[in-house]
Amino acid sequence: MAQTVTANLLKAQGIPGQYQLAHNPTTRQLFVTGTFNYARAHGSTTSTIARIDPDTLRIEALAQLPVTSDNRDLVKGQYQLQGAFGLALDNERGTLWVGSASTGSVTVYNQDDLSLVWDSLAVGEQIWQLRELFIDTPGNRAYITTSGGYCTVDLDTFAVNYHYLTTQSGGSEAMLLGPIALDEKRELYIPDIMNNQILVVDLNTAEHVRTYDVPAADYKTLPAVVHGVEVSGARGELYVSTQGVQGRNSGVHILSLEGEPLDFIPYGKMPTDILYDAAKALLYVTDFGAPRSPEPIGGTVGIIDVTSRKVLGEIRVSETKTNHQVLLPDGAVLVSDKAGEHKQVRVPFHIDPFTGKFTAADTEERTGEKPRTIDADSITRVQVQVHGEPDATVFPVFSPSLRVLVEDDGADVEILAELPEGYPIQITGSGWFKEHPGYGPRVGSEVIIEGDGVELARVQVQAAHFGALLTASVEFPAEWKAGQEHVITVRSGEAEGDIARSLGIPVRIVEAERHMPAPAVATVDTSVQHTDFAGYPKFP
């Protein structure tokens, strides 16, 4: 009997701008951070940490976050909250650690009453572009990932030490994200999104000891874009979620504990968090969706069996933007999203940006912006049941040959050498920049795609952290038939500032039956129960 999945869901209103979850199994307390409407032009004036009952999903308490000045040009002289983003628990001391990407600060709170214990800004310590936090109780350190490396903070004295890693392969500064994972050898695995690597840190010395490369999957001209990592010491495997580019190279890489690539499981538009349940041998992978894609989708959790390495199904949790997860001792998974399903909610954890005073509100009014309603996200408790046994059969996978052409200026194109008749033509590439005037950010070119000299599509390439990446899905020409040979040309040079390039790729058309796309992921049968919202509690 093939494996099937069913699930029971309990869903409730959470807080606006949710980021991460953490759970204390001893006290059975759940915590979630939320920071709403944070942008480069201004910090957040709506943010908190909520303590939640993991069984009923009722919000029990809220943290009143520190207020600080906002010195960005547009809002200079105004105020912001030290927004709550990354989250980790020190259960031995009964504290929770929170990172604020908006203010470059770390704050520590008491788990019971959410009172402030320590604030890095109060002692003049700023940690910019911080991301994930990890508490190593035996080593008496908190680990905080940042741009360029990571830092450690003593759990008792709060002394900060920096570990810079700016010489990773590829020439880019390390940008360490998460979630991060710990194995039985006390080694920490930290994703580096800029260089598509996993950094291994020895917790006994707090030093970086190894680096593993995470390769691109099906599309070699596009980056993998690593995001989260999990580890199974018993199986000797690392599981790395990769976001890819608009669904290309998106999924889960499996590596050995020595960094050898073992397998790739395609899944989702933009996978974010990855969670391993050793008892069930399951991976849970959230699909945030690709916001700038024509089909953003997202809002699901994929269920992957690590024995058969198959996606058993996906659970629809929200309309879009499933984000973070935590595993409970009873096997339930709690999932946060950023879908903003609950519209214009009135919250007590909002400040007036001009006075810095807390004032309840359901709408934000910020300098230079139209009024924006405060929308809350959801928390969902997911209980999965797997029926049947893992299928050990190894199925052959159609692996079409790829042809990559690279021009002298660095622009390249990748396409199937054999195109299945009737299917949209997938074209990817990188390096499609306009000429750079020597100042300001680089800009992507307008790319023209032709078939035998006839224009099929025009694509405006967007420049991003990873380069000017071309991703195009072109309608298949109706007159092209199996057995024919044609030439796909990808060129630029018509728009102002574009470099004149022309890459021609000969292709052969094959019968559609020879094209074996990955089967659609089955939607898991679910029963959904909604918890009535009891309101936000007052501050202690």
Q: How many Å separate Cα 538 from the centre of its chain?
A: 32
Contact assessment for residue 447 and residue 470, using Cβ atoms and an 8 Å cutoff: yes
pLDDT in tens, 435-476: 877 666 678 899 999 999 999 999 999 877 667 888 898 999
pTM (2 d.p.): 0.87
H helix or E strand, kind and range, residue 479: none
Please indicate, yes or no, whether residues 267 and 345 belong to a single structural domain of this protein: yes
Please indicate, yes or no, whether residues 116 and 232 belong to a single structural domain of this protein: yes
Q: How confident is the model at residue 396 (pLDDT cuts 50, 70, 90)?
A: very low
The 3-class secondary structure across 260-307, one letter per residue, is CEEEEEECCCCEEEEEEECCCCEEEEEECCCCCCCCCCCCEEEEEECC
Please indicate, yes or no, whether residues 128 and 100 belong to a single structural domain of this protein: yes
| 448: containing domain | 402-514
Q: Which DSSP string do the residues of 525-539 spell out, in sequence order? A: EEEEEEPPP--PPPP
Please indicate, yes or no, whether residues 162 and 180 belong to a single structural domain of this protein: yes
d(CA 18, CA 65): 15
Please indicate, yes or no, whether residues 360 and 408 belong to a single structural domain of this protein: no
Please indicate, yes or no, whether residues 331 and 480 belong to a single structural domain of this protein: no
Please indicate, yes or no, whether residues 216 and 340 belong to a single structural domain of this protein: yes
Contact assessment for residue 411 and residue 429, using Cβ atoms and an 8 Å cutoff: yes
Please indicate, yes or no, whether residues 360 and 379 belong to a single structural domain of this protein: yes
d(CA 146, CA 172): 14
Instruction: Assess whether pLDDT exceeds 50 at residue 190.
Output: yes
Please indicate, yes or no, whether residues 382 and 422 belong to a single structural domain of this protein: no
The two counts, helices (H) then strands (E), for the chain are 0, 43
The 3-class secondary structure across 123-151, one letter per residue, is HCCCCCCCCCEEEECCCCEEEEEEECEEE
**Within a domain: residue 535?**
no
CATH number at residue 430: 2.60.40.1930
Which residues, other chains included, contact 25 with Cβ-Cβ below 8 Å and sequence gap of 6+?
328, 329
Question: How much is the pLDDT for 167?
Answer: 46
Please indicate, yes or no, whether residues 377 and 406 belong to a single structural domain of this protein: no
Please indicate, yes or no, whether residues 262 and 358 belong to a single structural domain of this protein: yes
d(CA 345, CA 471): 38
d(CA 339, CA 319): 7
Instruction: Assess whether pLDDT exceeds 90 at residue 213.
Output: yes
> What is the chain's mean pLDDT, rounded?
89
H helix or E strand, kind and range, residue 14: none
Phi, psi at 381, each rounded to 5°: -95, 125
**Within a domain: residue 204?**
yes
**Within a domain: residue 520?**
no
Number of domains in the chain: 2
Question: How much is the pLDDT for 218?
Answer: 79
Please indicate, yes or no, whether residues 173 and 55 belong to a single structural domain of this protein: yes
**Within a domain: residue 521?**
no
Q: How confident is the model at residue 403 (pLDDT cuts 50, 70, 90)?
A: low
Look at the block and give the residue holding tokens 């590829």: 170
Tell me the two tokens of residue 320: 């879009």
Question: How much is the pLDDT for 174?
Answer: 57
**Within a domain: residue 519?**
no
CATH number at residue 386: 2.130.10.10
* Percentage of residues in the chain having pLDDT higher than 70: 91
> Nearest-CA neighbor of 381 among 50, 6, 12?
12
